[in-house]
Amino acid sequence: MTDKTWAEVDDYFTGALLAPDPVLDDALADSAAAGLPHIAVAPNQGKLLNLLARQAGARSILEIGTLGGYSTIWLARALPAGGKLVTCEYEPKHAEVARANLARAGFGEDVVEIKVGTALDTLPTLTGPFDFVFVDADKSNSANYVRAALELSRPGTTIVVDNVVRQGRVTDAASTDPDVVGVREMVDLLAAEPRLDATAVQTVGSKGHDGFVLALVR
């Protein structure tokens, strides 16, 4: 199988199972026009996040890594009336694009709050517990983000961490790549932390070979 086949399969399932969505398409288009990197989750992954958050009955969602707000919109759409999402973003320009994309999607600051700054500084200012956490920022800090997420959780909180496979490089114990080292530190934490029950699934698709962690707080 090739990357081309993986992308075609993603296109097939996305075309069959996801309704046309101009708001999400515009969010991606405006993010690209503003020069943001093309690193948002794929549509079928966004839908997976939405389904997982709904399955968890999430009324409060924390996201670490906003970019242009694409995954944020998917997650915010999972909230019931009165629900709230907080998303952490380091780059003011990314936050500005996300704010516009979220407003067009119908989410004002009363529903989605963007915390601008380095997440390790903004996370300690938040009040939990959150029902659902999506970690998708700098991978070198993955363990720190899971630790912070745990502090902002309750038993039953779902934690999803994206991009944990690094095209298979995650298996390289000798790697000095900070992202690989960061992901491996997080896996060690998941294995050692009695309050977390976790698995990891590798994926292929339009985003290449990658994968995610799904953890449940005990």
Bridge partners, 213 (sequence order): 161, 200
Amino acid at 123: L
Q: Scan residues 134-153 and list those touching ligand SAM (CB under 6 A).
A: 136-138
Tokens of 56: 């968890």
Q: Which of 78, 105, 119, 160 binds ligand SAM (CB under 6 A)?
A: 119
Instruction: Say whether residue 102 binds ligand SAM (CB under 6 A).
Output: no
Bridge partners, 163 (sequence order): none
Question: Listing from the earlier edge strand, what are the strands of the sheet with 60-64?
Answer: 112-116, 84-89, 60-64, 132-135, 158-162, 208-217, 196-205
Nearer to ligand SAM, 88 or 170 (CB): 88
> Cβ 154 to ligand SAM, closest distance in Å?
23
Stretch that binds ligand SAM, among 6-14, 33-41, 51-59, 78-86 (CB under 6 A): 33-41
Stretch that binds ligand SAM, among 87-95, 103-111, 124-132, 198-206 (CB under 6 A): 87-95
Instruction: Say whether residue 125 binds ligand SAM (CB under 6 A).
Output: no
Q: Is the dihedral of CA 206, 91, 70, 73 positive or negative?
A: positive
Beta strand pairing status for 132-135 and 208-217?
unpaired
State the residues that interact with ligand SAM by CB under 6 A: 39-41, 65-67, 70-71, 88-91, 94, 118-119, 136-138
